[in-house]
Amino acid sequence: EPTDTMVWQAALDAGLRPESFLLWNIFPFHPHPATNPLANRTPQEAELAAGLIFARRIIDMYRPPLIFAIGRKAQQMLAQGGIPSVALRHPANGGATEFRRGFQQAIQ
């Protein structure tokens, strides 16, 4: 997926080792239109709320020192769950440069 590729590339370009971080979607499943399982769609509010349950479990298990919320949906859900995070621009739809810039600033 293009977003995953961009996020991985930013982390690797920053010199992070792959085993030093965890990537997790706020909705960890594949939302798609009912008629096209190979397409993507934005997760619905109920799906995002369900995803927050999984995110909280992952956070409780790993206790990460820093959490990035990539995109408004992730940031809003984490905030609603009382989970502090660093908000970054989602790289899709023309946001790649701003995402990379924000990521670089956040890890320094």
The DSSP bridge pattern shows strands 86-88 and 68-70 to be parallel
* CB hemisphere CA count around 52 (13 angstroms): 17
Rounded (to 5) percent helix, strand, coil in the chain: 50, 5, 45
Q: How many CB atoms lie within 10 A of CB 23?
A: 11
Q: What is the mean pLDDT of the chain?
A: 94
In angstroms, rounded to a whole number, what is the distance separating the alpha carbons of residues 34 and 68?
30
pLDDT tens profile 91-102 = 998 999 999 999
| pLDDT the model gives residue 1 | 76
The tens digit of pLDDT for each residue in 54-68 reads 999 999 999 999 999
Is 2 buried (19+), middle (13-18) or exposed (0-12) by CB count in 10 A? exposed
